Amino acid sequence: MKTVLITGASRGIGAACADAFGKAGYHVFVNYNKSEDRAERVCEKIKAEGGVCTAIQADITDRESVRRMVSLCRYHGGGLDVLVNNAGIDFYGTFEQTGPQIWDSMINTDLTGAYNVIYAALPELKNSAAGRIINVSSVWGIHGASCEVAYSAAKAGIIGLTKALAKELGPSGITVNCVAPGYIDTEMNARFDIKTVADITDRTPLSRTGTASDVAGAVLWLASAEASFVTGTVLGVDGGFM
Ligand code: NDP
């Protein structure tokens, strides 16, 4: 049975990815940091549908905790075939409001967090017949967003990491790709009022906002055999917004 580790899978896009991989027959490792109850609920749903799932707590900014998480994947699943680096936080405010603590926290979570998990998981992925790394960036990592400078910088970093690592790991048979979602209906966007969401919808050619399942579909495809010749790419999941 193939295995997948999805970071930040207690809700939103990560939970939708967990659900999709569970239905596709993977043993799903559902990582969470603080939301244990919600991660357990994600697992219960997968198990109720006949899937295999294990919830694992780890703060992706804490390297020791990440190392333990990967050891548990090895212990419970025999290794790792797919890694989905999804966990992330955002900060909305001007650059002047982005003090050093906020900046460090954004970069540590949204960029270094992905590095930490890849670094720890790479030996497992190298043992897989077809290792896959899928990182979750953002349209703002490509185009930049006003009042989201730290977030945009971290997500741009994810794109650079993806492209460079794809070149380096190609000879090991591991593909490295990322998705760049546009506006997706999750708790991360709860701060936006109805008018702002309507404006985004108006500016989206497909005339709607995205769902977590929209992103999960793209992530699952990048992990599939059909995508075995796709690496170093940034797949937009934004309804044509950009
Ligand atoms: P949510 O805020 O709904 O969920 C974030 C998840 O990340 C939670 O499961 C949370 O776990 C986890 N997380 C946060 N910090 C850590 C940490 N230090 N260690 C481990 N897990 C952590 O976000 P979304 O589902 O909306 O976003 C998921 C990803 O998609 C993020 O990387 C985000 O930047 C990206 N994205 C989202 C878009 C959107 O419009 N929603 C658009 C483009 C990209 P816990 O609750 O347990 O702490």
Q: What is the pLDDT of residues 66-120, one digit of tens each?
A: 999 999 999 999 999 999 999 999 999 999 999 999 999 999 999 999 999 999 9
- Report the separation in Å between the CA atom of 171 and the middle of ligand 1, taken as the mean of its atom positions: 31
Look-up of token digits 């919830």 = 55
Q: For this structure, is 183 an active site residue? A: no
Pocket of ligand 1 contains residue 141 by CB under 6 Å: no
pLDDT at 122: 98
Quick one: DSSP state of residue 30?
Answer: E
Pocket of ligand 1 contains residue 6 by CB under 6 Å: no
pLDDT at 108: 98
User: Mean pLDDT over residues 32-42, rounded?
Assistant: 98
Pocket of ligand 1 contains residue 86 by CB under 6 Å: yes
- Report the separation in Å between the CA atom of 214 and the middle of ligand 1, taken as the mean of its atom positions: 15
Could you give the CA distance from residue 42 to residue 107 in angstroms, rounded to a whole number? 27
pLDDT digits (tens, 9 = 90+) for 47-69: 999 999 999 999 999 999 999 99
Q: How would residue 8 be classed by pLDDT, with cut points 50, 70 and 90? A: very high
Give the mutation target among 7, 32, 70 for probing the ligand 1 site: most ligand atoms within 8 A of CB.
Answer: 32
pLDDT at 153: 98
What number does the ligand 1 atom closest to the CA of 188 have? 2
pLDDT digits (tens, 9 = 90+) for 198-210: 999 999 999 999 9
Q: How much is the pTM?
A: 0.99
Pocket of ligand 1 contains residue 210 by CB under 6 Å: no
- Active-site pick, 26, 32, 115, 151: 151
pLDDT at 7: 99
What number does the ligand 1 atom closest to the CA of 13 have? 25
Instruction: For the chain, give the mean pLDDT.
Output: 98
Question: How far, in Å, are 46, 51, 119 from residue 23 at the CA level?
Answer: 7, 7, 28
| Percent of the chain scoring above 70 in pLDDT | 100
Q: How would residue 155 be classed by pLDDT, with cut points 50, 70 and 90? A: very high
User: Mean pLDDT over residues 193-198, rounded?
Assistant: 96
pLDDT at 39: 98
Could you give the CA distance from residue 69 to residue 75 in angstroms, rounded to a whole number? 10
Pocket of ligand 1 contains residue 133 by CB under 6 Å: no
pLDDT at 169: 98
- Report the separation in Å between the CA atom of 25 and the middle of ligand 1, taken as the mean of its atom positions: 24
Q: Give phi and psi for 178, each to the nearest 5.
A: -140, 160
